[in-house]
Amino acid sequence: MNDLDPQYEMYKNKPNDYFIGARFDLISLIPPNFHECKVLEIGCGNGATLNALKSLSVAKEVV
């Protein structure tokens, strides 16, 4: 990304904790019957959301 990219401004201004916490708002969108799903997370910050999916048994397998 460079200074001319519109997404640069969007991410540059996000608070530091945006990239380190689990996204429970996204986890809540997963239907209850998806508990046997496999989840591949891309662009995951520090992986907290993926770890939460596994520890909460929302996903059977995480990558």
Q: Is the pTM value of this prediction over 0.75?
A: no
pLDDT for residue 1 is more than 60: no
> Quick check: 27 and 5 in contact, CB under 8 A?
no
User: What are the residue ranges spanned by the domains of the chain?
Assistant: 18-62
Q: And the tokens for 36?
A: 């046997």
Q: What residues does 39 pair with on adjacent strands?
A: 62
Q: How many CA atoms lie within 13 A of 20 on its CB side?
A: 3
pLDDT, tens digit (0-9, with 9 covering 90-100), for 14-26? 887 778 889 899 8
Distances (CA, A) of 15 to 32, 38, 46: 31, 30, 15
Cα–Cα distance measured from residue 31 to residue 29, given in angstroms and rounded to the nearest whole number? 6
